C-alpha cells in the first residue's frame, strides 16, 4: 500500500515518503505530517503479532503503514531499536495491578527510564537510515541538527538516541529549574561528541515556543545550511517518526493481552493515557483507527487541565490560564502540539479550519471548534484531571493496597482511569519509572504536600540517594543502574539562555561554531 505524508495545514503539493517526512520533522507551513490514508488490520492480523518478538511486531506495523524501507531493512533497524538497550525482552511488559481488571503498560524499560525511549530509541535509527537513503538517491549531502524543546524526559531520551549517530548532532533546550534533579543530571551528563544541552530561562511553554519560533525562522535555517551545511530537524513528538513507534505498542499490547488470556479476542480494551503534548494518546487513537479493538480512550491531565477543558467544552483557551508546576512535569503544558493532527482527522481533514484555529491560538491564545467537531471529540475521548495532592495520595494508596509503585505521571492516569473503570479491562499507560521522580514519590509515601520541602533527614540527599532511601523503605530495589550511578558522572553542560527565539538561535550558532 502506498502511503505518503501530507501537511495538516495543506502546504504540501505532493505527499512525501515516510523517510522524507522524518527528516523534515515539521512541514514548511508549520503544520504536521500525517499519512494520506491509514492501513487496515484485521483482528487476526492484530492477534498474530503476539507470536513475534517486539522488534518484529514493530517492523510489521511499519510495513503496514507503507514506510519506504524494505522489510529486511525494517527488521534490521527494529532489531537495533528494540534489543538489549531495554532491560526486558518484552520491551514494554503489562502488569496486572489488583483484581479488578486494571493493567499497567510499563513503557519505561528503556535506557532513560521514561516512555520517550519507546520512540526515541527508534526514531534516530530511522533518521540515520533516511539520510543514507537520501544520499544514495543523489539527494543533498547536508548533515542535520536536531533541536529539541523538552519538559524533561524527551531531552534525555533524544540525547541518548542521537548520541554519536552519523550525519546528525543534537541540541536540547529545557526549562531551567523546571525539571527534576534526576532529569537535570541525566541531561547535563550526557556523553557523545555531537550533543549539547542548554537551560532556558522560563517555563516549558516559553522554552517550546522559543524553539518553535526558531524553526519558523526561514532566514535562520537558510544561514545554517549555507554556512554550515546543516539542516534543522525535530525529534519532538511533532515528528511522525516519533508517533509511529507509539502506535506499535498499543496494537502489540492488545495482542499480548489476548495471548496471555487477559482478554477475549475481539473484546474491547479501554486505555487511559497521562497526556501532555498529546502524542501518546494520539498514537492510541491511530491504533484503534487501524483496527485494534480499543474501547474508550481516556485523556488524563494534571492541574494544567487545558486538554480536559477542551474535550469538555470545545474551547481551547490559554489566554488567561496559569502555567502550574506539578509533580508530573512532563504533563505541565499549555500548548499541546499533536492535537492539531487529531483535529485534522476529526474535521475530515479540513486544512482550512486547522489553519484558522492555529492562527487564533497564536494570535488570541484561544480557539473554539464548531459544534460538529466538538461532538466528534467527545465521542472519541473521555477526559479527567487530577490535582497535585490527589496525585501523590494515589501513589500512596496504590502502593499500600497493591505494593505497586507508580511515578506521578502514571498516578495521574491511574486515578482518572479508576474513575472511568467499567466492566472492561483497562490498560493504564505508565510513562516513567518511579525513580525518575523520587522526591515526589518520597513525599507521597510520607504524606508530605507537593510544594512542601523534604524533611531534614533526607533534604541533603541527591536524587539517587533519595531513591535508595525509597528502595529501602518500600523494598522496591529495582532502581535502574543508569539512574543510580548519576552522581558519579561529570556535568558537561551548564549554560543557560534567554527564553526567546534569539536566545535559542544564538545558542545553536554557538554550538555549531564548536
Ligand X SMILES: *Cc1c(COP(=O)(O)O)cnc(C)c1O
**Footprint of ligand X (CB under 6 A):** 114-116, 153, 237, 274-281, 330-331, 409, 431-432
d(CA 255, CA 441): 32
Nearer to ligand X, 244 or 331 (CB): 331
Query: In angstroms, what is the minimal distance from the CB of 13 to ligand X?
Result: 30
Nearer to ligand X, 46 or 243 (CB): 243
Determine whether 509 is exposed, middle or buried from the number of CB atoms within 10 Å of its CB (0-12, 13-18, 19+): middle
Nearer to ligand X, 4 or 110 (CB): 110
d(CA 400, CA 502): 49
Query: In angstroms, what is the minimal distance from the CB of 466 to ligand X?
Result: 18
In angstroms, what CA-CA distances link 384 with 279, 418, 419, 420? Answer: 17, 11, 9, 9
Q: Are 149 and 211 in contact (CB under 8 A)?
A: yes
Nearer to ligand X, 257 or 428 (CB): 428
Determine whether 348 is exposed, middle or buried from the number of CB atoms within 10 Å of its CB (0-12, 13-18, 19+): exposed
- Residue 283 CB partners (closer than 8 Å, separation 6+): 243, 244, 246, 247, 249, 250
Nearer to ligand X, 276 or 450 (CB): 276
Q: Which three cell numbers stand for residue 477?
A: 530495589
Query: In angstroms, what is the minimal distance from the CB of 413 to ligand X?
Result: 8
Q: Which backbone phi and psi does 294 adopt, to 5 degrees? A: -100, 135
Sheet holding 294-301, edge to edge: 94-96, 102-106, 426-430, 269-274, 294-301, 381-385
Query: In angstroms, what is the minimal distance from the CB of 302 to ligand X?
Result: 10
Nearer to ligand X, 231 or 324 (CB): 324
Nearer to ligand X, 47 or 335 (CB): 335
DSSP state, residue 15: P
Query: In angstroms, what is the minimal distance from the CB of 301 to ligand X?
Result: 10
- Residue 238 CB partners (closer than 8 Å, separation 6+): 25, 26, 32, 337, 338
d(CA 358, CA 115): 28
Q: Which three cell numbers stand for residue 430?
A: 505508565
Nearer to ligand X, 77 or 281 (CB): 281
Query: In angstroms, what is the minimal distance from the CB of 279 to ligand X?
Result: 3
Query: In angstroms, what is the minimal distance from the CB of 338 to ligand X?
Result: 7
Nearer to ligand X, 19 or 304 (CB): 304
Nearer to ligand X, 128 or 304 (CB): 304
d(CA 431, CA 419): 19
Q: Which residue has the cell 503476539?
A: 50
DSSP state, residue 126: H
d(CA 155, CA 163): 12
Nearer to ligand X, 224 or 433 (CB): 433
Pairing of strands 381-385, 496-498: unpaired
Query: In angstroms, what is the minimal distance from the CB of 433 to ligand X?
Result: 9
Query: In angstroms, what is the minimal distance from the CB of 412 to ligand X?
Result: 8
Query: In angstroms, what is the minimal distance from the CB of 157 to ligand X?
Result: 8
d(CA 39, CA 22): 19
Q: Which residue has the cell 513507534?
A: 245
Q: Are 514 and 224 in contact (CB under 8 A)?
A: no
Query: In angstroms, what is the minimal distance from the CB of 274 to ligand X?
Result: 5
Amino acid at each position: 500500500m502506498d502511503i505518503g505524508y501530507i501537511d495538516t495545514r495543506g502546504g504540501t503539493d505532493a505527499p512525501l515518503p515516510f523517510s522524507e517526512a522524518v527528516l523534515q520533522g515539521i512541514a514548511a507551513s508549520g503544520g504536521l505530517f500525517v499519512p494520506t490514508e491509514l492501513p487496515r488490520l484485521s483482528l487476526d492480523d492484530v492477534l498474530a503479532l503476539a507470536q513475534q518478538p517486539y522488534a518484529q511486531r514493530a517492523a510489521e506495523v511499519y510495513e503496514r503503514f507503507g514506510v519506504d524501507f524494505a522489510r529486511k531493512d525494517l527488521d534490521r533497524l527494529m532489531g537495533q531499536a528494540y534489543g538489549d538497550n531495554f532491560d526486558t525482552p518484552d520491551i514494554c511488559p503489562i502488569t496486572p495491578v489488583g483484581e479488578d481488571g486494571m493493567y499497567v503498560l510499563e513503557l519505561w524499560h528503556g535506557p532513560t527510564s521514561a516512555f520517550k525511549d519507546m520512540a526515541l530509541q527508534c526514531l534516530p535509527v530511522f533518521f540515520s537510515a533516511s539520510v543514507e537513503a537520501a544520499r544514495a538517491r543523489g539527494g543533498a549531502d547536508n548533515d542535520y541538527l536536531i533541536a529539541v524543546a523538552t519538559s524533561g524526559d524527551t531531552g534525555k531520551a533524544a540525547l541518548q538516541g542521537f548520541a554519536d549517530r552519523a550525519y546528525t548532532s543534537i541540541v536540547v533546550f529545557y526549562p531551567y529549574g523546571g525539571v527534576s534533579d534526576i532529569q537535570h543530571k541525566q541531561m547535563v551528563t550526557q556523553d557523545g561528541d555531537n550533543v549539547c544541552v542548554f537551560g532556558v530561562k522560563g517555563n516549558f511553554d516559553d522554552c517550546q515556543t522559543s524553539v518553535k519560533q526558531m524553526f519558523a525562522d526561514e532566514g535562520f535555517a537558510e544561514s545554517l545550511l549555507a554556512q554550515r551545511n546543516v539542516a534543522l530537524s525535530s525529534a519532538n513528538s511533532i515528528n511522525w517518526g516519533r508517533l509511529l513507534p507509539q502506535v506499535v505498542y498499543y496494537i502489540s499490547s492488545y495482542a499480548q493481552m489476548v495471548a496471555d488470556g487477559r482478554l477475549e479476542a475481539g473484546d474491547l480494551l479501554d486505555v487511559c493515557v497521562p497526556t501532555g503534548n498529546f502524542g501518546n494518546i494520539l498514537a492510541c487513537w491511530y491504533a484503534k483507527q487501524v483496527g485494534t479493538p480499543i474501547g474508550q480512550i481516556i485523556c488524563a491531565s494534571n492541574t494544567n487541565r487545558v486538554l480536559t477543558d477542551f474535550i469538555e467544552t470545545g474551547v481551547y483557551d490559554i489566554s488567561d490560564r496559569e502555567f502550574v508546576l506539578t509533580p508530573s512535569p512532563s504533563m505541565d503544558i499549555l500548548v499541546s502540539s499533536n492535537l492539531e493532527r487529531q483535529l485534522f482527522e476529526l474535521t475530515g481533514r479540513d486544512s482550512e479550519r486547522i489553519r484558522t484555529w492555529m492562527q487564533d491560538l497564536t494570535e488570541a491564545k484561544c480557539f473554539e471548534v464548531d459544534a460538529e467537531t466538538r461532538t466528534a471529540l467527545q465521542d472519541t475521548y473521555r477526559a479527567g484531571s487530577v490535582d497535585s495532592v490527589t496525585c501523590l495520595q494515589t501513589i500512596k494508596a496504590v502502593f499500600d493496597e497493591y505494593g505497586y509503585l507508580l511515578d506521578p505521571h502514571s498516578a495521574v492516569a491511574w486515578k482518572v482511569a479508576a474513575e472511568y473503570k467499567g466492566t472492561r479491562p483497562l490498560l493504564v499507560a505508565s510513562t516513567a519509572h518511579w525513580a525518575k521522580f523520587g522526591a515526589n514519590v518520597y513525599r507521597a509515601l510520607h504524606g508530605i504536600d507537593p510544594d512542601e520541602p523534604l524533611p531534614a533527614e533526607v533534604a541533603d540527599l541527591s536524587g539517587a540517594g533519595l531513591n535508595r532511601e525509597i528502595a529501602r523503605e518500600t523494598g522496591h530495589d529495582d532502581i535502574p543502574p543508569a539512574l543510580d550511578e548519576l552522581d558519579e558522572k561529570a556535568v558537561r553542560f551548564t549554560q543557560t539562555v534567554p527564553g526567546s527565539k534569539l536566545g535559542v538561535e544564538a545558542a545553536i550558532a554557538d554550538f555549531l561554531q564548536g
